[in-house]
Chain A
Amino acid sequence: MSEFWLHPALILGLGGLLLPLVPARLQRAYLLLVPLLTFGRALSLAQGTFGMVDFLGWTLVFGRVDTLSALFGYIMSLMAVIGTLYGAHVREKAQHLASWLYVAGALGVIYAGDFLTLFVFWELMAFSSVFLIWFRRRPQSLAAGFRYLLVHVVGGLALLAGIILHGGANGGGLAFDAFDVASMTPAAWLVLTGFLLNAAVPPLHAWLPDAYGEGTFNGSVFLCAFTTKTAVYALVRGFPGLDLLVPLGVVMSLYGVVYAVLENDARRLLAYHIISQVGYMVAGVGIGTEMALNGACAHAFAHILYKALLFMGAGAVLHMTGQSKFTALGGLYRKMPLTFWLTLVGGLSISAFPLTSGFVSKSMVVAGAFESHLLWAGFLLNLASVGTFLHTGLKVPYFIWFGERHASDETWNRAADPPWNMRVAMMVAAALCFFIGCYTPYLYNMLPFPVTYHPYSAYHLSETLQLLLATGLGFALLIEKLKPEAKIALDLDWVYRKAAPVFARLARGPIQGLDTWVGELYRNSGLAGLVTSARHIGRFDHRVIDGAVDGLAAAVRACGGRLRALQRGQVQESLLLAFALAVAVALGFLLLRGVLR
């Protein structure tokens, strides 16, 4: 047991548990104070290994602080400040408690040095974040939350199975270090499956838009930041250079783009673009060079901020108007201009516009792909960038704030820029997006490897601007085609939303019918036969055995009665009778012998 080490997650966790005791008039101040203390603690952490606890023969490591965990701890605790500020006017304390426990889980994973600690915090994330969906309190939210939870339980089980196998193969050692990606063991595959599910890598991705589209207006701001990026951290730590991750990441980046074309719900569209953006990070981990790993980390850092900004913008629209579908919005610029401009900053950042955060982070992954001569990956990731700008930079702002007004009068009248705390949170995130994009040493000096990359070369500027402006032109030309349709796009959650009920119906119908038939058969032949034979045995028992016993008893009694009549007490009579009986037996014996001869 080492000396006490104050875990940043502990501040959030304890702060959350004390929240119900905080008087209402101090609640807002308290809501700001606790995440700020957490952020301060994350900043003050010295590098090294702390918080080691001996537990049943294992050493749990709660505090492994190195450049990698420090980077993710920094951005996640900073995001806790921004996210809490954004929802600070929400009175319900349980919502804040759920989001803080969720961040605490994420921070626990980031600083965990062994797999057991990682697993416990991993599950804490799933079980606390589901409340951010349930608190929306629609019937759909309840169902979506359960689906989210069940999927994550399955992923957690894969992770746990992998951890147990890994520990068994390692003689009980559970340190969380890089796996040997050249020779993957079954344990490593299982752990990888758990990580990939949380990173929303297709085909294990459908939980993400399902859940994030259904979260509360501020809950989704937390959701979009932590689960997938914790998984990216875990992949960087555990599987750097695993080749399979390159195609998976590239597929992800394009998959999200395709579904974003079809999506009518702004928050679900943004959720699909999480999948797309995490694809860059997963591909970066797979490429595995210092440049690409730096890119994956830098992009995760930048992504948390701009994606939260986008979800805050869409969340502000949802919070103020009650709508998140493009077909129920449109033309809101006159009512919510500030929200438009701030969301646009998020849209430009995710599209990697020069001077924004995406420009300095995303390009590291793409450049990493080209440098490793994975040309197809580089070109396809650039193609995904086109799709990103097309949807997040153009489609989302255009069809919410411009375009035809589809909003009902009620929606229109409710629309306005959101309360001050939401505006400030968005401004902070927007300012950071620009700051990261303009002052590159801020982010680059925090990365795990030394950075030699210079994003602001004439070629990179020309390449990016050509791509983005050509996309803008394409958008203008195809705007009729891009008009949102009031439809939903089926994704792989169909498998457990439709196929599972079909299976359940199958179970209720044919399978249960078969079960009933077998039961009937058993009752008619097996059970009935058994009953019949039991009845016969009973009758045999009653008639034959009982009869024999009873008959014997009756005979003995009758004989006894007769004998009693004979027995009058005289010894000589008794002796005579005995003698006569003996003679009769002897005679009978002799007679029988003579006959048998």
Chain B
Amino acid sequence: MRPDRLRNFLRDPRHRLSRWAVVVLLGLVVADVVPGWVDKEHAHTAWERLPGFWTVFGLIGCILIVLLSKGYGHAGILTREDYYDDE
């Protein structure tokens, strides 16, 4: 999605919840940047210390899950609903 389309998407009143999600998400990322606000003592890897790591992980993960699963489904796994009816 191009940046202008994303902006239009978020301006659409039907997507109020998404707008709030983005606001909170940005807030979390900002809080992540401020040293000492989010205690990174519990982080296990260096990557997790990057600000907003889990936002990026979640977004990319979500897109990958949808695209890869749909690709898998359309590679022949999805079939007509009465496929098994002639058992």
Contacting residue for A390 out of B9, B32, B54, B66, CB 8 A: B66
Interface status of B87 (Cβ within 8 A of chain A): yes
In the bound assembly, the distance between CA atoms of A125 and B28 in angstroms comes to 47
A548-567 CB mask vs B (1 if < 8 Å, else 0) is 00000000000000000000
Determine whether A481 belongs to the interface, using a CB cutoff of 8 Å to chain B: yes
* CB proximity of A379 to chain B, nearest CB, Å: 8
Taking CB atoms, residues of chain A closer than 8 Å to B80 are 487-488
Which residues of A does B touch, CB under 8 Å? 143, 257-259, 261-262, 370-371, 375, 378-379, 382-383, 386-387, 390, 457-460, 462-478, 481-482, 485-490, 497-498, 501
**What chain B residues lie within 8 Å of A459 (beta carbons)?**
38-43
Given contacts A257-B69, A462-B28, contact A467 B58 (CB under 8 A): yes
Residues of A contacting B: mostly: helix
What CA separation (Å) do A144 and B63 show in the bound complex? 34
Count the B residues whose beta carbon is within 8 Å of the partner chain — how many?
52
B9 pairs with A477, CB closer than 8 A: yes
Residue among B41, B62, B77, B87 making CB contact with A474, cutoff 8 Å: B62
Least Cβ–Cβ distance between B27 and chain A, in angstroms: 10
Contact bitstring B4-30, A, C-beta under 8 A = 1, else 0: 001001000001011001101100110
CB distance from A280 to the nearest CB of B (A): 16
22 residue pairs of the A-B complex, CB under 8 angstroms, read A258-B68, A259-B69, A262-B70, A459-B40, A459-B43, A462-B28, A462-B31, A466-B53, A466-B55, A466-B57, A466-B58, A467-B57, A469-B21, A471-B59, A474-B58, A474-B59, A474-B62, A475-B62, A476-B9, A485-B78, A486-B81, A501-B87
Q: Which residue of A lies closest to B42 (CB)?
A: A459
B55: shortest Cβ distance to chain A, in Å?
4
Query: What is the bound-complex CA distance between A477 and B40, given in angstroms?
Result: 30
Q: Which residue of the partner chain A has the closest CB to B58?
A: A470
Query: Are B25 and A469 within 8 A (Cβ)?
Result: yes
Taking A259-B69, A386-B58, A386-B62 as known contacts, 19 extra A-B pairs with beta carbons closer than 8 A to each other, sorted by chain A number, are A258-B65, A375-B44, A386-B57, A459-B42, A462-B38, A462-B54, A466-B28, A469-B22, A470-B58, A472-B21, A473-B21, A473-B62, A474-B59, A474-B63, A476-B18, A477-B9, A478-B63, A478-B66, A482-B66
Q: Which residues of A contact B56 (CB under 8 A)?
A: 470
A473 pairs with B83, CB closer than 8 A: no
C-alpha gap A191/B9 in the complex (Å): 54
Q: Report Cα–Cα, A140/B37, bound state, in Å.
A: 56
Q: Which of A261, A463, A473, A477 contacts B25 (CB 8 A)?
A: A473
Complex Cα distance A485/B80, Å? 10
Q: Is the CB of A469 within 8 A of B39?
A: no
Cα–Cα, bound, A485→B55 (Å)? 29
CB pair A487 B28 closer than 8 Å: no
Q: How far is the CA of A261 from the CA of B73 in the complex (A)?
A: 9
Q: A465 to chain B: which residues have CB within 8 Å?
A: 24-25, 28
The residue of chain B having its C-beta at the shortest distance from the C-beta of A144 within the complex is: B84
Closest chain A residue to B85, Cβ basis = A140
Q: Is the CB of A481 within 8 A of B66?
A: yes
Q: With A459-B40, A481-B66 in contact, is A489–B73 under 8 Å at CB? A: yes
Please name the residue on chain A nearest to B69 by beta carbon: A261
Q: Which chain B residues border A488 with CB–CB below 8 Å?
A: 78-81, 83-84
With a cutoff of 8 Å between Cβ atoms, the chain B residues found around residue A478 in the complex are: 62-63, 66
A166 CA / B31 CA spacing, docked (Å): 56
